């Protein structure tokens, strides 16, 4: 006897109720997963900000031990930063005008030398103190060659007096594609000196989608003390309470 074909035919579709159950489950998973993912991104961002803060603390000791000036070079468009080391007599500028003038003059003078003369130190010997502005990557396992912010994070600004009260900022709005040529990227540099002091620095790391949320790393001048907070510290305003002029003696 042949079986009833209606009973043996495989069902290939889904009922409306089954589809509704699947949609409900997916919605539940999304509701649970999105906050969890956001929490992971928050932890990654805080971890990156904490690493920058700890690096400044470490460099204060390293600069004194090695009698070298360290600087952290920030690529604000690529969202990367790295530690570099240079001459203990490195000059740091007190205003954007000073920095731009010296950088322009040094660039013009360095253009007179060949790559071989620069590599052999001929240019440095001729330029003297001006060549002390040249830095190189630190060849030390204690430092990472290049660090990158986690996905969804960016540098809102890096402030030091040499960049003015607005600080150095990315050359493109947050979330937009960075220029293809690295030479066109917005860069910022902050310094730690052999005497244990540091350049007054404020670094703001934010979420690209929520720029008001993020972390602020501040390095106090002279003492090199480092703090990490979620508060927004306006460039140039955190130390505004310091007097511009010294006390007048009778």
More confident residue, 244 or 226: 226
* 16-42 b/e (C-beta count within 10 Å ≥ 16 → b): eeeeeeeeeeeeeeeeeeeeeeeeebb
Asked whether 155 and 204 are in contact (CB, 8 A), the reply is: yes
Mean pLDDT, residues 240-244 taken together = 53
Does one domain contain both 101 and 213? no
Q: If DSSP codes are grouped into helix, strand and coil, which group holds residue 21? A: helix
Query: What is the rounded distance in angstroms from the CA atom of residue 25 to the CA atom of residue 97?
Result: 60
| pTM higher than the cut 0.85 | no
Does one domain contain both 156 and 53? yes
More confident residue, 21 or 168: 168
The angle formed by the CA atoms of residues 216, 219 and 225, to the nearest 5 degrees, is 120
Q: What is the CATH number of the domain that holds 29?
A: 3.55.40.10
More confident residue, 209 or 17: 209
Tell me: pLDDT of 12 over 60: no
Residue 4 lies in a domain: no
Q: How confident is the model at residue 145 (pLDDT cuts 50, 70, 90)?
A: low
Residue 52 lies in a domain: yes
Q: What is the DSSP letter of 132?
A: G
More confident residue, 90 or 77: 77
The whole domain housing 98 covers: 92-134
Which residue, 158, 226, 230, 164, is CA-closest to 189?
158
Does one domain contain both 115 and 53? no
Does one domain contain both 125 and 177? no
Mean pLDDT, residues 109-118 taken together = 63
pLDDT, tens only, 148-193: 999 999 999 999 988 988 899 999 998 888 888 888 899 999 999 9
Which residue, 76, 231, 82, is CA-closest to 155?
76
Residue 118 lies in a domain: yes
């Amino acid at each position: 006897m042949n079986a009833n074909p209606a009973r043996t035919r495989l069902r290939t579709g889904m009922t409306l109720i089954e589809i509704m159950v699947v949609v409900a489950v997916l919605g539940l998973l999304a509701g649970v997963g999105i906050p969890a993912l956001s929490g992971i991104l928050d932890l990654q961002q805080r971890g990156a900000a904490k690493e920058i803060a700890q690096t400044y603390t470490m460099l204060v000791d390293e600069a004194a031990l090695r009698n070298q000036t360290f600087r952290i070079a920030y690529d604000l468009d690529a969202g990367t930063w790295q530690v570099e080391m240079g001459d203990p007599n490195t000059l740091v500028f007190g205003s954007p005008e000073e920095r731009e003038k010296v950088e322009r003059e040094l660039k013009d003078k360095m253009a007179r030398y060949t790559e071989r003369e620069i590599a052999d130190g001929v240019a440095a010997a001729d330029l003297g103190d001006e060549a002390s502005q040249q830095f190189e990557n630190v060849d030390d396992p204690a430092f990472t060659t290049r660090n990158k912010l986690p996905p969804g994070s960016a540098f809102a600004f890096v402030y030091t007096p040499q960049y003015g009260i607005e600080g150095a900022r990315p050359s493109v709005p947050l979330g937009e594609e960075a220029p293809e040529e690295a030479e066109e990227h917005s860069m910022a540099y902050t310094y730690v000196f052999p005497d244990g002091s540091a350049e007054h620095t404020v670094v703001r790391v934010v979420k690209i989608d929520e720029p008001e949320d993020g972390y602020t790393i501040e390095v106090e001048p002279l003492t090199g003390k480092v703090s990490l907070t979620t508060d927004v510290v306006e460039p140039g305003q955190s130390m505004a309470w310091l007097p511009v002029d010294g006390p007048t003696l009778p």
